[in-house]
Amino acid sequence: MQVETLVGGFGGQGILFFGRILAIAGMLQNFEVSWYPSYGPEMRGGTANCTIIVADQEIGSPVSDHPHLCVAMNEPSLHRYGILVKKGGNVVINSSLIGTEWEKDGVHVDLVPGNSLAMEKAGDPRVLNMVLLGAANERMHIVSFEYLYAAVKDQLSGKPQGLVDHNLKAIDVGRDYILRGDVACW
């Protein structure tokens, strides 16, 4: 098993934190992992992306030319990275910010209103990244959710408990959105 994930969006949307949580969860589950962040010098508001590979065998390269999964938090990232997803893969689109139709032959597309779910269901707009992580992980079954929760608790240790709770709830909100089958697809 090897799942290559590419997450893209604006700086400040939690792209790197998304990747770090997924990578740490993979390590906690005793998988091999690679976390390869990339961002412009302007950080917040600029472009950011992150490649995360989780595997049950040695990883040959941290770079993924054709990932199994793309999580697009904004439209430029969808157009830039969605086309790279291999056949049989999945694209999770933040439909709160991306209104254009997009498809690729042989690729499943999930429309998840991440910003709306973060605010309305998780209670904090800053947890958009965790909503989409929960949705993507439920769709692709990359790691067990217990390890995602453990990774969040580890990375946010020392932070106010409310912040930890909002992030954990956001993961569940994204997961539940996929489980309920509310996901729209183009």
- Residues 54, 58, 63, 66, CA torsion sign: negative
Contact 183, 112 (CB under 8 A): yes
For domain 2-180, the CATH superfamily is Pyruvate-ferredoxin oxidoreductase, PFOR, domain III (3.40.920.10)
Confidence class for position 147, pLDDT limits 50, 70, 90: very high
Task: Give mean pLDDT, residues 33-62.
Answer: 83
Q: How many CB atoms lie within 10 A of CB 4?
A: 26
Cα(51)–Cα(97) distance, integer angstroms: 21
Spell out the domain ranges in the chain: 2-180
68: β partners: none
Q: What confidence tens digit (pLDDT) does each residue in 83-123 have?
A: 999 999 999 999 988 887 888 889 999 999 999 999 999 88
Look at residue 27 and give its three-state secondary structure: helix
Mind listing the pLDDT tens digit for each residue in 151-185?
999 999 998 898 899 999 999 999 999 998 765 55
Q: What is the pLDDT of residue 124?
A: 85
What DSSP assignment string belongs to 50-88? EEEEEESS--S-S--SS-SEEEESSHHHHHHHGGGPPTT
Would you state the pLDDT for residue 90? Answer: 94
pLDDT (0 to 100) of residue 40: 66
